[in-house]
Structure 1
Amino acid sequence: MSVTGAASPWVSIAGGLSAAGKKTGDFGRLFCVRGKAGGAVRLVNGWKADGAVLEGGGAARGLLEKGVAEEEALNAFKLGRFVEERFVYRQTFVIRSYEIGPDKTATMETLMNLLQETALNHVMSSGLASDGFGATHEMSLRKLIWVVTRINIQVDRYSRWGDIVEIDTWVAASGKNGMRRDWIIRDYGTKEIITRATSNWVIMHRETRRLSKMPEQVREEVRPFYLDRRTILQSDNDSKIDKLNDETAENIRSGLAPRWNDMDVNQHVNNVKYIGWILESVPMKVLEEYHLASMALEYRRECRQSELLESLTSMEPKEEEGPESGEGDLRSTHLLQLQESGSEIVRARAQWCIKEPA
């Protein structure tokens, strides 16, 4: 951007940038307004054009208003926005055809990918993001990354192809050295909450792969964004997940191999990929007749691309009685382990509800 004529009262706006009291060169789509001397003028991302007067006829005014509306719409769908005094980040998504399963609804992997995308965009939009996968500036200086230790997701209703969903996310402290991230997913049209999720994160050194205490500098970066609001009760999230073994598992699927495309930018298997491997050992009849109502995953260690995995599953009738329980509902326990050594990768627990007729 080039700046000329510093004494000019003209303010040029392109792509949401402004230069009050100056004339700016055109570096894209350019809109001009006459502003107050020394006053800042910005017309996108929620800022008002205080004291500004549109210069030109109706066509120019219409072009500006159309451009601002397009910019705001693009921002809402691409990067989202902050709400509730910037403690909550909100983003909107359309469910695509390649994100649905055989029953024409979004899959659990789709929901988890959307949660991850919203979380990363939250960090990026907050100005904290550095060169890591969600790492802050102070974390990158110390070669630190975030790793998830536990995720719990509860789904009341799955969206269908073409539905629009609105996702809110925020963060809070978790113990002395961790962070908790929560989400809610709403139906965009009705504002009904259809999914709740919570997760716990710790810090790892990118090269040694050892867990690290949270440096005070990192704590100071993230503390202003903390909002202590839970979507899932702590007692529900902290309940123990039983360990399966070859004797207690009813179904075992071996020979699962991580691929290059399963790795993320932190050089470990993306946490969403484990869900697909877990479901590999679920009986086909269950997948056809039931949907996942909730899932809790406890991440025990990383796995490398060269390591083969085994998926273990045990199914049983759901014992809990309550208004949300239906006759015939199931629960399951899962384990992903290294095929050669039996070392645990992920423990999981799930609840299944009978699918309603289409």
Structure 2
Amino acid sequence: MTSMAARSNVTRIFPGDFRKAKKENVDATTTWEALKMNFHGFGNANAWNNKRKMSLVTASAQSSPRRGKTINGTMVKGARVEEGSINGGKLANESAVDAALGTSLHGRFVEDRFVYGQIFVIRSYEIGPDQTATMETLMNFLQETALNHVTCSGIGGNGFGATREMSIRKLIWVVTRIQVQVQSYSRWGDVIEIDTWVDAAGKNGMRRDWIIRDHNTKEIITRATSTWVVMNKETRRLCKIPEEVKQEVFPFYVNRFAIASEQTDCEKIDKLTDDTAERIRSGLAPRWNDMDANQHVNNVKYIGWILESVPIQVLQDYNMTSLTLEYRRECRQSNLMESLTSPTAKVIGDSNNNSINRKPDFECTHLLRMQRDKAEIVRARTEWHLKNKNK
């Protein structure tokens, strides 16, 4: 992404040479001098380990044995739990726990089966140190909704999100690019609604979009779009979408965009090298539990490894408000990886922080690569805002 021109009373976080950043306006934001030292020392954010028992509330495509119950008196897309079950992340009464745990994890079709919707509650083990949902949590929700969409559509095969015709031909979906824009992060106990739909992406791909709303206010808090192609599960090679598969998914296509075309990140993500990266973290190893049902690393897992080379002070003081991932190749459990990060010059100016068009305080370029032969796995670009500016 291109940098904005400098203007009066603004702070350039990364003017010219990144290592020569200087402070021009203390009131605007923390300058990179305060963060610079962290790019030369590595640290991890503390995990939020205090797991507490709370309810799961989802909409159901099937009838629920516990109908007639509510969340704070509100119907949740056909599935209900006891009155006052959630209040600021705490249970108001114990009967709500049993009622909520008895609900189905499936969502339902809306808008004549073109859009699939699902409801989630942010649980204690899905938040970070600042008690808000992490980007990985949001990505897991997007993936779960997409898979349930395929399953509930009636065209699902025996593969992980594959259709029947794909399963017959031993084909799987693989994501090539995904962009997520976050307006605000939900907190522990918040209820969110996710809608997802699909459309064609060129002649040989499929686009999947999502929007996330706050259940109480109905405000859209996250938008995401992605591009998918077909891979042969045995040869691990990309291939054209068979006509039979196109006929399966075509009835579900809807010409709608979660992210407007002018806001879609289509620009090339630059490749980082040893010379251009400011921080490199080596020795990152996938675990068995990082593998998905298609026997490669789950695409959500890459986010955590990308953040391994981001300074801890950035993670503490800033929110990631935009993430674009460009997947280059598969990663297996036997592969060791390296995470590279380099900040990009950005100017801070006045902007409407309630708008999706708000200007980022700064952005970073990232790369995950094989440690042995330096082969690229994922390129990424992130945008960040000071946390106190988003409150």
Alignment CA distance shift 1:45-1:90 (3 Å): closer
1:252 aligns with 2:258: no
1:286-316 CA-to-partner distances (Å, cap 9, x unmatched) read 0111010000000000011111000000013
**Cα distance per residue 1:3-26 (max 9 Å; x no partner):** xxxxxxxxxxxxxxxxxxxxxxxx
In structure 1, which of residues 332, 345, 348 is the aligned counterpart of residue 380 of structure 2?
Answer: 348
Task: Name the CA distance, whole Å, in 2 between partners of 1:110 and 1:89.
Answer: 19
Structure 1: tracts of 5 or more residues without a match? 1-43, 48-64
Is the contact between residue 323 and residue 380 of structure 2 (CA under 8 Å) also seen in structure 1? yes
Amino acid at match of 1:278: I
Q: How does 1:123-272 map to 2 (within 5 A)?
A: 123-235=150-262, 236-272=264-300
Name the TM-score, length of structure 1 as normaliser. 0.79
Picking from 331, 336, 340, the partner of 2:363 is: 331
> What is the Cα deviation at residue 73 of structure 1?
1.3
Matched, 1:306 2:312: no
Identity %: 64
Q: Deviations over 1:60-87 (max 9, x none)?
A: xxxxx97554794179852111111110
The answer on whether the counterparts of 1:317 and 1:329 sit within 8 Å (CA) in structure 2 is no
Of Structure 1 and Structure 2, the greater strand share is in 1
2-side partners of 1:143 and 1:349: how far apart? 33
Is contact 1:181-1:200 (8 Å) kept? Answer: yes
Larger Rg: 1
Aligned AA (1:211): L
Q: How far apart, CA to CA, are the structure 1 residues paired with 2:360 and 2:255?
A: 36
- The one-letter code sitting in structure 2 at the alignment partner of 1:269 is V
CA–CA distance in structure 1, aligned partners of residues 103 and 218 of structure 2? 16
The one-letter code of the counterpart of 1:148 is V
The residue number in structure 2 matching 1:94 is 121
Distance 1:146 1:293, change over 3 A: same
Structure 2 Cα separation of the partners of residues 253 and 126 of structure 1: 42
- SS in structure 1 opposite 2:160? coil
Distance 2:254 2:348 in 1: 32
Q: How does 1:61-72 map to 2 (within 5 A)?
A: 68-69=67-68, 72=78
Q: Secondary structure at the match of 1:171?
A: strand
Q: What are the equivalent positions in structure 2 for 1:73-112 lying under 5 Å apart?
A: 73=79, 78-112=105-139
For 1:220, the aligned partner's letter is Q
Question: In 1, distance between residues paired with 2:66 and 2:232?
Answer: 44
Cα offset, 1:228, TM superposition: 1.2
> Letter of the aligned partner of 2:329 in structure 1?
R
Paired with 1:144 and 1:190, the residues of 2 have a C-alpha distance of 40
Query: CA offsets per residue over residues 131-174 of structure 1, 9 Å max, x none?
Result: 11100000000000000000000000000000000000000000
Contact 2:362 2:383 (C-alpha < 8 Å) held by counterparts:
yes
Is contact 2:61-2:109 (8 Å) kept?
A: no
**Mapped partners of 1:327, 1:137: distance in 2:** 44
Aligned-partner SS, 1:191? coil
Structure with larger RCO (C-alpha < 8 A, sep 6+): 2
Q: Distance in 2 between matches of 1:305 and 1:67?
A: 42
Determine the structure 1 residue equivalent to 2:85: none
Q: Give ranges in structure 2 of 5+ residues lacking alignment.
A: 1-59, 70-76, 81-101
Cα distance in 2 for partners of 1:214, 1:279 equals 34
Please give the secondary structure, in 2, of the residue aligned with 1:105.
coil
Q: 2: distance between equivalents of 1:45 and 1:151?
A: 27
Read off the aligned partner of 1:347 and give its amino acid letter: R
Q: Is the 8 A contact 2:360 2:384 kept in 1?
A: no
Correspondent of 1:273 among 301, 304, 308:
301
Distance in 2, Cα, partners of 1:66 & 1:253: 50
CA distance 1:308–1:130, shift in 2 (3 Å): same
- Normalising by the residue count of structure 2, what TM-score does the alignment of the two structures yield? 0.72
Q: 1:214 to 1:327 in 2, by over 3 A?
A: closer
Which SS does the other structure have where 2:388 is aligned?
coil
Matched residue SS, 2:229: strand
Aligned length: 298
Distance in 1 of aligned mates of 2:296 and 2:222: 27
Q: 1:217 to 1:111 in 2, by over 3 A?
A: same
Give yes or no for contact 1:77–1:93 (8 Å, CA) kept in 2.
no
Q: Distance in 2 between matches of 1:323 and 1:280?
A: 30
Q: Which moved more, 1:97-106 or 1:69-78?
A: 69-78
Moved over 2 A (4+): 44-47, 65-72, 74-77, 233-237, 316-328
**CA drift at 1:175:** 0.8
SS at match of 1:255: strand
Give the aligned partner of residue 318 of structure 1: 346
SS at match of 2:272: coil
CA distance in 2, matches of 1:232, 1:191: 17
